[in-house]
């Protein structure tokens, strides 16, 4: 098998073909006791796509992944791989493989023996095993470690071995359950790029579970944002970031400020700190409680009050954090509202803690969401 022999294109529209790596989830429900972990999900995964399931702990993303893998069965609904139902089919009979948080490498085997394990269980001819192990290790840049013991490897190297062991069986779909959660930030960022490159080389479908929004945004063709066992939004990273469907999605992706108020006329939100113009539309009736949402990078910080900006609020500077490519400001408004602003570093003097400042933002950078009831039991 050559390196690109399994390449298959991503379907470019919402109609799902029965390509070998396609996954369809139809009305899937999974309960533990009386509580639904997955509460009626419909989802189409395109063949050759890198799809991420993103959400907080307990949102149902890992349960959904385990049902695709066959480790759990749905109480209702159907799961189809390449157009055929796999409900009731044993995990080892499905054309999928899974990489878990714990890589579970055999400590008494070498790297090459770990990678070859699945093929040996299938009684694959020795010559074919050797060729495929060599190819898999080359793909994950671990050829020079073939004779090493896994205990001699770093976390990133162990992850590569786990990936090689998963892809050597040539699955149609590769499932990844937070496989980088144990890695430090720098290594994690390096592995994100490597994993995306590997997926493109293989051309197979990746379904990736994570609670890290930056991780999902950096790798995914599409992201599925989940909460309480339900899908909140499906889209590209750009679509979800710039046009979140709910206040939860808006707050979960990136640094978002929410200002509570009442919906007035002509897209205005009346708050304790003033009336703000929002270009975003709302279906709420006038007088309804709403949230004005403004991303931290859309807020500008001024040391003198601007005179021509439509949305201006005064506040007191709190913590100033230098984050390398941006400076983060924490400001408390007159009503006690805490807002975050992120701006690129300048050569001017930074406002000091306790100094009076003014914040402004453009109407097109403000969205309006219904003000939801407080979540309980979270």
pLDDT tens string, the chain, 378 residues long: the values are 333 333 333 333 334 445 778 999 999 999 998 889 999 999 999 999 999 999 999 999 999 999 999 999 999 999 999 999 999 999 989 999 998 877 788 989 999 999 999 888 888 999 999 999 999 898 888 999 999 999 899 888 888 898 899 888 888 999 999 888 777 888 888 888 888 988 998 889 999 999 999 899 999 999 999 999 999 999 999 999 999 999 999 999 989 999 999 998 777 999 999 999 988 778 888 889 999 999 999 999 999 999 888 899 999 999 998 888 889 999 999 999 999 999 888 766 678 889 999 999 999 999 999 987 555 443
pLDDT at residue 2, rounded to an integer: 35
**What pLDDT was estimated at residue 377?**
44
**What structural domains and CATH numbers belong to the chain?**
23-242 (3.40.50.300), 266-370 (2.40.50.140)
Residue 348 confidence (pLDDT): 66
The model carries a pTM of 0.86
CA distance 117 to 136: 13
- For position 341, what pLDDT does the model report? 95
pLDDT given for residue 287 in this prediction: 86
Residue 342 corresponds to which tokens in the numbers above? Answer: 């992120």
Would you say 157 and 142 are in contact if contact means Cβ atoms under 8 Å apart? Answer: yes
């Amino acid at each position: 098998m050559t390196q690109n022999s399994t390449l298959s294109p991503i379907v470019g529209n919402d109609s799902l073909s029965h390509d070998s790596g396609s996954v369809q989830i139809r009305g899937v429900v999974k309960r533990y006791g009386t509580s639904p972990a997955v509460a009626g999900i419909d989802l189409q995964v395109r063949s050759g796509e890198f799809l991420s399931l993103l959400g907080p702990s307990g949102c149902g993303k890992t349960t959904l992944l385990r049902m695709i893998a066959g480790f759990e069965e749905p109480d209702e609904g159907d799961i189809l791989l390449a157009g055929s139902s796999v409900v009731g089919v044993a995990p080892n009979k499905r054309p999928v493989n899974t990489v878990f948080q714990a890589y579970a490498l055999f400590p008494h085997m070498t790297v090459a023996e770990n990678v070859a394990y699945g093929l040996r269980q299938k009684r694959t001819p020795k010559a074919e095993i050797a060729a495929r192990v060599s190819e898999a290790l080359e793909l994950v840049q671990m050829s020079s470690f073939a004779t090493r013991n896994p205990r001699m490897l770093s976390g990133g190297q162990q992850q590569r071995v786990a990936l090689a062991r998963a892809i050597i069986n040539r699955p149609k779909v590769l499932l990844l359950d937070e496989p980088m959660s144990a890695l430090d930030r720098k290594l994690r960022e390096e592995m994100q790029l490597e994993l995306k490159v590997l997926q493109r080389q293989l051309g197979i479908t990746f379904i990736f579970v994570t609670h890290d929004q930056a991780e999902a945004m950096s790798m995914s063709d599409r992201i599925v944002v989940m909460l309480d066992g339900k899908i909140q939004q499906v889209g590209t990273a750009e679509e979800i970031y710039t046009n979140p469907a709910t206040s939860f999605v808006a707050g979960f992706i990136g640094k978002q400020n929410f200002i509570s108020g009442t919906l007035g006329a002509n897209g205005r939100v009346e708050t304790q700190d003033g009336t703000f113009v929002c270009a975003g539309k709302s279906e709420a009736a006038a007088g309804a409680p709403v949230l004005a949402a403004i991303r931290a990078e859309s807020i500008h910080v001024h040391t003198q009050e601007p005179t021509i900006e439509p949305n201006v609020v005064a506040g007191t500077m709190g913590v100033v954090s230098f984050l390398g490519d941006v400076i983060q400001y924490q400001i408390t408004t007159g009503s006690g509202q805490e807002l975050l602003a992120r701006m690129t570093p300048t050569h001017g003097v930074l406002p000091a803690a306790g100094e009076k400042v003014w914040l402004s933002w453009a109407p097109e950078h403000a969205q309006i969401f219904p003000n939801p009831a407080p979540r309980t039991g979270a």
